[in-house]
Structures are given as C-alpha cells and as structure tokens.
Amino acid sequence: MYIRLGSTTRPAGPEIIAEIKRSVTNQSYDQQAIPDLSKNALDLEKAKKAFKTVGKEMSEKKLQSLGILVPSNHGLVPSIGGLILFGKKKQRENYIPDARVKGARFHGKDKTNILDQYEIEGTILDALDEVPKFIARNTRLAARIQKLRRKDIPEYPEIGLREIIVNALVHADYSILGSTIQIAIFNDRLEVQNPGMLPFGFTMEDLKAGVSRIRNRVLAKVFHELKLMEEWGSGYKRVIEACHRYDYPEPEWVEQGTSIRVIFYSQKKTQSIQKTKPLKKELTDRQKAILALFKKSKSLPFRNIYNDLPTKISERMLRYELSQLKKMGLLISKGKGPSTVWEKGGRLIKSTLKKEETV
C-alpha cells in the first residue's frame, strides 16, 4: 500500500496507517486514555507548580479541560499526553518509555566518536530546562566588540534553538516505538531530530507558509497554557527571523523516513576566534571547570582531574577537552600514557581572566 505525501509517494508503514486511523476518528495519540492507571500515576504537585509559574490555578476540572485526565469506565484516568507531561517515573517507563530526550556530542562531523552523551531525566517539561544546559556545555561562545563593549555570541541561535526544541517536544510522534527525540552536536553543526514525519496531509511547504497542524493536542494545549509555545504555525517564521537578526545561517529541515531533522550550522565567526579576543568566554563550562582545578595545584595527573571534576564526564571527553585547552596554550602535558601530568600552559590562566573582566 502506498500513499501520496506532498510531492512524494511512500510505502504506508504501520506508523502512517495508525496516524490515518486516528485522523478518521479525530483523536490524537496523546488524547487516548490509559485505563490501567489512576490519576495517582501523575505527579499532581509538579503540575500544580507548573501552572503556578504562569499565575494559574490547577484543579481537576482544569486537568480535564486540557485532556490531562480523561473519563473511562474506571472514572478519571490519565491520558497518554498527561503521562508524558506529568507522569511519575515508574509509570512513564512502563507505558511511554520512549517519551524522552537524548543528547550526544560527537568528535568531528560524523557519529564515529562520542565525546559526551546525556539522557534527560524527567518529563519533556524537564527537558526544556536540561537540553539548553547540555548544549551550553558542549558549544562555544565567541566575543564581538562593538563600540568598546563586549557582546557574547553563542555558536547557535538560542531563540531559534528553543523554538525548534519546543516544536520537537510538542509534535513528536510518541507512538513510534524505539525512537526518541535526539540532540546531536558535531564540530560544524547541531541537529534536533524527533520521531514522526510531517502530519498526514501536511507538507514542508505548509510548514514554511505558517499553516498549523497539531499532532498532539494535549501537549499543544498545555504548552500553550503554560506560555511555552506562541501562536500555532508561527514557529518557522520566528526561527528564520532570529537567524537573520543575529547573522546565523538558516537551519535546514530534512524529512527522513519516519523522523524530522532540523540542522543548525555553526556560525562562522565562532570557528575563527582571534587570539587577541578575551579568552574566558571562548571556553565551555566544562573547560572552565577543568581550569579551576589548577588554582589549587600547578600540576595534576589525568586521574586526579577526572576524579575531581564536579560534573562527571567520560574519560574520552576529558581527553578531548584537555587537548583543546592544550591547543589554546592554557595547559601543557608532560609524559605519555597513564603517567601524563598536566600543568598550566604558557598563557597564564589567572592573568588572562583578569584582563577579560575589564573588557
């Protein structure tokens, strides 16, 4: 069986057939009830705090109106969307194990060597806070001096990235087993991929034109209620405008099989930072943490650095960061293999940081 999507004809796999059936019944996947559970499967205190942040009260009636709780033969039970948003850990792992976000930092331009990886704990609402932290510690800031004032420039557009992350969380097809939302960072680009092709009958041209098609109605309603998502259908325009405003390359949207990937390309200015520019802001948070260890000791063996870092990372990632700091002239290595000792480099860390603060 084949179907026509936009300008392409594709085999109708089980995911497409299931979505067609849902469109006929006019019910999204996340609106479906989970009759095996009770409302105790939801972290209602967490939901209450979320609504309180936007000055709104949470009540059982409110949860029903948003589709977080739905009626069944057993009374009110969580919907799939309700569990994705506010479900307790055990219930989420049992019923929607793939409704989560994974992040990875790769060395180079492909996925051969993983330097850092992280799986976001908690619900997709928690991911809104955790994903930017993961990106920040694995990307750089450049410095631009304008009218004697310093302006820090992230490697990727923060506004555009946030918009795409929100879009991925709200529009992912959580019915596809074995697929998760993924953040992949390479030397030259950052990719946000979510499971699910464009909604049935929706094309890339529709997306760019601002046409709205909601895949997950419960998630969309709650994100809108919590002021995490603006007007529906305006996301593409805001991403492009943010990139133009801050001189970033436009991202690329790619539909691959049963997933959508948005690719952000590294801003050229961050790839050729002049050595005369202040140094501190060129470093990732992880690199700053490594350098901070040398305030107490002039030299440290690899194992001490690895054990004393406040945030644990893989040994491979640490070796990569040390090599980057060595290239910057901040650290030097003596010896080889397990006996390698790291010391402050010729470019003094302390004095450099002091100079940077006066800019």
Look at the block and give the residue holding tokens 């054990």. 307
Q: What are phi and psi of 216, to 5 degrees?
A: -115, 100
Strand order, beta sheet including 252-256: 113-119, 101-107, 181-185, 189-195, 259-265, 252-256
Nearest to 174 by CA among 3, 27, 15: 15
Q: pLDDT at position 134, please?
A: 92
* Tokens, residue 124: 């997709």
> What is the dihedral sign for C-alpha 166, 171, 175, 180?
negative
Q: Residue 266's CB: how many other CB atoms inside 10 A? A: 19
Q: pLDDT at position 350, please?
A: 42
Q: pLDDT at position 282, please?
A: 65
Q: pLDDT at position 197, please?
A: 82
Look at the block and give the residue holding tokens 């969380």. 169
pTM over 0.75: no
Q: pLDDT at position 131, please?
A: 94
Burial of 105 (0-12, 13-18, 19+ CB in 10 A): buried
Whether CATH 3.30.565.60 fits 101-270: yes
pLDDT, tens digit only, all 359 positions of the chain = 555 555 556 665 666 666 656 665 668 999 999 999 999 999 999 999 999 999 999 999 999 999 999 998 879 999 999 999 999 999 999 999 999 999 999 999 999 899 888 888 889 999 999 999 999 889 887 655 555 555 678 899 999 999 999 999 999 999 998 899 999 999 999 999 999 887 777 778 888 887 878 889 999 999 999 999 876 667 788 899 888 888 899 999 998 878 899 999 987 544 433 333 444 446 788 888 888 898 888 889 888 888 888 888 888 888 888 888 888 888 888 877 777 889 887 554 443 343 333 32
In the chain, what are the domain boundaries?
32-85, 101-270, 274-357
Q: pLDDT at position 83, please?
A: 97
Q: Can you tell me the distance from the alpha carbon of 167 to that of 251, in angstroms, rounded to the nearest whole number?
A: 14
Decide if 280 contacts 348 (C-beta within 8 A): no
Q: pLDDT at position 264, please?
A: 96
Q: According to the 3-state scheme, what is the secondary structure of the chain?
A: CEEEECCEEEECCHHHHHHHHHHHHCCCHHHCECCCCCHHHECHHHHHHHHHCCCCCCCHHHHHHCCCEEEECCEEEEEHHHHHHHECHHHHHHHCCCCCEEEEEEECCCCCEEEEEEECCCCHHHHHHHHHHHHHHHCCEEEEEECCEEEEEECCCHHHHHHHHHHHHHHCCCCCCCCCEEEEECCCEEEEEEECCCCCCCCHHHHHHCCCCCCCHHHHHHHHHCCCCCCCCCHHHHHHHHHHHCCCCCCEEEEECCEEEEEEECCHHHHCCCCCCCCHHHCCHHHHHHHHHHHCCCEEEHHHHHHHCCCCCCHHHHHHHHHHHHHCCCEEEECCHHHCEEEECCCCHHHHHHHHHCC
Task: State the distance between the two ends of the chain, measured CA to CA, in whole angstroms.
Answer: 64
Look at the block and give the residue holding tokens 């300008």. 7
Tell how far CA 52 is from the center of its chain. 24
Q: pLDDT at position 268, please?
A: 57
Q: Can you tell me the distance from the alpha carbon of 1 to that of 117, in angstroms, rounded to the nearest whole number?
A: 39
Look at the block and give the residue holding tokens 């799939």. 80
Q: pLDDT at position 14, please?
A: 63
Give me the CATH topology for the region 274-357. Answer: Arc Repressor Mutant, subunit A (1.10.10)
Q: pLDDT at position 214, please?
A: 86
